[in-house]
Amino acid sequence: MKHARVAYAGSVHHAVSEHGQLRVDDGRLVSEASVIWLPPVVPSVILALGLNYADHARELSFAPPVEPLAFLKPRTALVGHLGQTRRPAGAVHMHYECELTVVIGKTARHVTRRHAYEFISGYTVANDYAVRDYLENYYRPNMRAKGRDEATPLGPWLVDALDIPDPMNLSLTTTVNGHVMQQGCTKDMIFDIPTLIEHFTSFMTLQPGDLILTGTPEGLADVKPGDEVVTEIAGVGRLANTIVEDWRS
């Protein structure tokens, strides 16, 4: 089943996809065009991976990491499907990152690889924009690069884990203004999903709704105000976003 969070008629609703429309939690059936899409979950913790695809590491001229290279993001970085993301004034290079995102389903601590999938409620799509101007040593994330307000589109759906039988074999595609710019497959992750869950829960507790953004493959390019960027993962969803100008730094 595909779940969503939307604003409709002045209220926030949970909704499910039903024959191309949305069934909101008060029973009404509404069109997808009539709602404002919100991030499908409200996490407490957002973990994101850097350089988790070897081809992406190569295009940035770095060796693949020997353990997960992770960083935290604030919840204010998230924006929903069809939302806008500001390109900072004076930025020289800002690019998209299509990422499969794991949504934790129950409290997870000291989880082994063998049992990792039991702790997943579902999957969604993230576009984790990076402003390269602000990255130390070109890749290591800092707050201005990866914690910017509304710089991480998420959604539109939370797809139940049972509906994604093999999350480690999903195609990822990014288009900019309709042109394919990025293609990859989750099978090419350096650290697969069970490894990531085992690693993170060895030293921290993850709660229901927490997110793990699993990294992006090669194929990055600069995006400008006015560009429509669509990140899509087979079986999970198609997430659209528009870049707008921002006079602030």
What CATH number did the domain enclosing 121 receive?
Answer: 3.90.850.10
213/123 same-domain check: yes
57/134 same-domain check: yes
The average pLDDT across 185-191 equals: 96
60/13 same-domain check: no
Q: What's the CA gap between 84 and 223, in Å, rounded?
A: 13
Residues spanned by the domain of 12:
1-38
**Helix runs in the chain, H state only:** 54-59, 143-146, 193-201
10/128 same-domain check: no
CATH number (domain holding residue 31): 2.30.30.370
The dihedral region occupied by 28, where left means phi > 0, alpha psi between -120 and 50, and beta the remainder, is beta
157/228 same-domain check: yes
**Per-residue pLDDT band at 141 (split at 50, 70, 90):** low
Average pLDDT, the chain: 94
pLDDT digits over 149-163, tens only?
A: 999 999 999 999 999
> Shortest CA distance to 216 belongs to which of 61, 64, 56?
56
> Shortest CA distance to 145 belongs to which of 93, 196, 182, 223?
93
18/85 same-domain check: no
**pLDDT value for 181:** 97
DSSP helix/strand/coil, 186 = helix
Cβ-proximal residues to 96 (8 Å cutoff; 6+ apart), any chain? 127, 129, 174, 176, 181, 182, 220, 221, 223, 229, 231
**pLDDT value for 192:** 97
Q: What's the CA gap between 142 and 152, in Å, rounded?
A: 14
Contact between 52 and 131 under an 8 Å Cβ cutoff? The reply is: no
pTM: 0.95
70/12 same-domain check: no
47/14 same-domain check: no
156 pairs with which residues across the strands? Answer: none
91/181 same-domain check: yes
Domain count, the chain: 2
92/14 same-domain check: no
Q: What's the CA gap between 81 and 201, in Å, rounded?
A: 29
SS (H, E, C) 12-64: EEEEEEECCEEEECCCCEEEHHHCEEECCCCCCCEEEEECCEHHHHHHCCCCC
State the greatest distance between any 2 C-alpha atoms of the chain, in Å, as a whole number.
Answer: 52
25/106 same-domain check: no
9/61 same-domain check: no
